[in-house]
Amino acid sequence: MSSAAAEDTVWIGFMDIVPVIGTVKEAVELVLALYEGNKAVIKEKEKATENFVKESLKKQLKAKHVKKLTLPDKPAAAADEVSGLRNVREVRKEMIIEYMGKGSKRGTKPLTPAQQKERQKRVEAINKDMLEKIHILDKNFNQELKEQLERSQRGEHVFNNGILTFHFSVLTEFIQSYHIDNLRGYSQQTMDTLGRHTLTQNTAEDIQTNMVVHFGEDEFYVNANAVVYGEYCRALRGALLDVLRHINADDVTEEERQRVNFVVDNMNNLEIYVDQLAKVKWIASNANRQARFEQVRQEVANMYKTDRGLDWCIRVLREVAPLFEHGH
């Protein structure tokens, strides 16, 4: 780039939506690094800026035309992790206003203290709700939620995707624990059928790909569902395996039967497998989506309670028990 061309451009980065403009790239990056608190990058950019000043002074003293000093375009490893530095761009002066309009859209508007306080209240309310649901199973459970600032590229599922594979994984664990697949008469096809979810194809597709939302960087989101659903899955897995480990269905105790039903009933009544924030965003006052949500919820609830509940365990045992009589 010629010196004349260099004088016609500036470097621009953003602190959220606030622009940082300068003629020296490293100086702009230093400001962003200070704002974002990346100590490794701060140290690097301070050195780079110091070197630039030294070179500029040499140029003035020698009165010699030299090319504009540039450090390698690739940021340091520490800088790669800082979004503000990754987005520093060289822009022609006449394009500054237009670029600022585009660039600022990628950032988020800083929250006022009142907004921050309100969001914290929402986090606390969600955390309280989460703990109340989990304490039904485990009174000693304690975990603090935080607002999710990072956004998932795949989006957030209204219904937890794990619904589609949970029972298959439970059955697989049971089969492997007792080496049932080594027994004479074992049928993989039968077990695959018993392990498969009982949802319709349309419902499975909706859960997996259609009932998904993407939260913007400026939108509030807390992933409480991952914690709640995870704890309930752990409890249900244990309850189902406690029933299955008897091999003989007649040996299953009443307490073990009630435990399965207790966990399942709470999962269904409290919509444990639903991400409530994603649900609200996906439905968005749309009557058709509200109706579809209810259809899927009913189908999922029926699967957990009837098709893949306590009776499912008994069906599995009726298939497995005779295999032990045949032996290897």
pLDDT for the residue 128: 95
Nearest-angstrom CA–CA distance, 87 and 74:
12
Q: How confident is the model at residue 4 (pLDDT cuts 50, 70, 90)?
A: very low
Q: Quick one: 16 and 127 in the same domain?
A: no
Q: Are residues 123 and 95 in the same domain?
A: no
| H or E element that contains 273 | none
The pLDDT assigned to 153 comes to: 74
The pair of structure tokens assigned to 130 is 């989460």
Q: What is the pTM of this model?
A: 0.67
Let me know whether 140 and 164 are in one domain. Answer: yes
- 178 and 291 in a single domain? The answer is yes
Mean pLDDT across the chain: 83
> Of 44, 75, 106, which closes a domain?
106
pLDDT tens-digit series, residues 203-258:
999 999 999 999 887 889 999 999 999 999 999 999 999 999 999 999 999 999 99
In the predicted structure, residue 54 carries a pLDDT above the cut 80: no
Q: What average pLDDT does range 101-116 have in this prediction?
A: 64
SS3 65: coil
Of the candidates 66, 85, 106, which is a domain's last residue?
106
CA distance 38 to 78: 8
> Based on the domain organization, do 138 and 286 belong to the same domain?
yes
Helix, strand or coil, per DSSP, at residue 11: strand
What residue spans of 2-159 are helical by DSSP H? 3-7, 25-36, 39-62, 77-80, 83-86, 96-103, 113-135
Q: Do 9 and 142 share a domain, yes or no?
A: no
Please state at what angle helix 113-135 crosses helix 224-244, rounded to 10 degrees: 10
pLDDT beyond 80 at 103? no
Domain count, the chain: 2
Q: What number is the average pLDDT over the span 118-143?
A: 94
Rg for the chain (alpha carbons), in Å? 29
Inter-residue contact 261 to 309 (CB < 8 Å): yes
Contact indicator for 106, 14 with CB cutoff of 8 Å: yes
Question: What pLDDT is recorded for position 86?
Answer: 59
Name the band, by pLDDT with cuts 50, 70 and 90, for residue 28: confident
Distance of CA 73 to the CA centre of its chain: 32
Q: What confidence tier does 289 reach under pLDDT thresholds 50, 70, 90?
A: very high
Residue 178's pLDDT is 95
Mean pLDDT for 34-51 is 70
Q: Which domain holds residue 40?
A: 3-106
pLDDT over 70 percentage in the chain: 76
Tell me what the mean pLDDT of segment 118-122 comes to: 92
Whether 66 and 169 share a structural domain: no
Taking residues 193-202, what's their average pLDDT? Answer: 97
Q: Percentage of residues in the chain with pLDDT exceeding 90?
A: 57
Could you read off the pLDDT of 70-81 as tens digits, one per residue?
334 434 434 444
Does 149 or 195 have the greater pLDDT score? 195
The model's confidence at residue 279, banded by pLDDT at 50, 70 and 90, is: very high
Predicted confidence (pLDDT) at residue 38 exceeds the cutoff of 90: no
180 and 42 both lie in a single domain: no
Give the model's confidence band at 23: pLDDT under 50 very low, under 70 low, under 90 confident, else very high. Answer: confident
The whole-number pLDDT of residue 71 equals 36
Instruction: Return d(Cα 322, Cα 195) in angstroms, integer.
Output: 19
What is the pLDDT, as a whole number, of residue 302?
98
Question: Of 57, 72, 106, which residue is a domain's last?
Answer: 106
